[in-house]
Chains A and B, each alone.
Chain A
């Protein structure tokens, strides 16, 4: 059996073993969970503006996002967020809570490799590309706006 044949056989084997996920329930759950997280954010934002009526809307959003990031990080720490993620899929990845989860989760997982080379380095496995691509794109947009 040459390499090509072997790879094909292996791919078929993997395809047979991967659990079949039905798309419709995951679409529904991602919609539901994503909507709930956004409503939670809106609720926190409204409460902040209720308690501090003089705060600027932009500042209130900042606090809202920080609270959501805190909650997601904590829920990741106690292992709840990953359970939500198992059935919610995109609903738990796309909100800012998913960004927080993607930083905390590898930090926890690679802690045993040390604080510097484990925790601090692996924190950026997903956050790194996200921040780098976002910053590069925003600098380009800024430079374009300089000329128009």
Chain B
């Protein structure tokens, strides 16, 4: 029944985002930046793996997981290759997601028309 945990933790993380919106009226860019930085911090202090063990998709699907895999990639590459790893590791670990987001946005941007203008 780990889907219950996934639902509860995933929902809770998203609700925190909504609380930020209500309390301070910040834009979606700032919310995403905040959560990415939280993810980097969680991974840097070694807490992310403990949460991820029972939360699974509940913490990996929110953008917090993106920040955590950036930090995890950088830390892993630093241990393997030294200083150059700090620069290459983060983007290497998240390259799949970033490239997918660009490619699909480009393709669907060409195919579909904006719904807000017409």
Chain A residues in contact with chain B, CB under 8 A? Answer: 21, 23, 26-27, 30-39, 41-42, 45, 61-62, 64-66, 68-70, 73-74, 76-79, 82, 89-91, 93-100, 102-104, 107-109, 111-112, 115, 119-120, 123, 125-127, 129-131, 133-135, 137-139, 141-146
Secondary structure class of chain B's binding surface, majority of residues: helix
Tell me whether B21 is interfacial, beta carbon within 8 Å. yes
Q: Which of B33, B79, B87, B108 contacts A130 (CB 8 A)?
A: B33
Residues of B in contact with A (beta carbons under 8 Å apart):
2-3, 6-22, 28-29, 31-33, 35-37, 39-41, 43-44, 56-58, 60-67, 70-71, 73-75, 77-79, 82-83, 85-87, 89-91, 94, 96-98, 100-102, 104-106, 108-117
Q: What separation, in Å, do the CA atoms of A74 and B101 have in the docked complex?
A: 11
What distance in Å separates the Cβ of A117 from its nearest Cβ neighbour in chain B?
13
A residues near B86, Cβ cutoff 8 Å: 138-139, 141-143, 145-146
Which single residue of chain B is at the shortest CB-CB distance from A109? B114
Complex contact A23–B56 (CB within 8 A):
no
Partner of B11, one of A38, A125, A145: A38
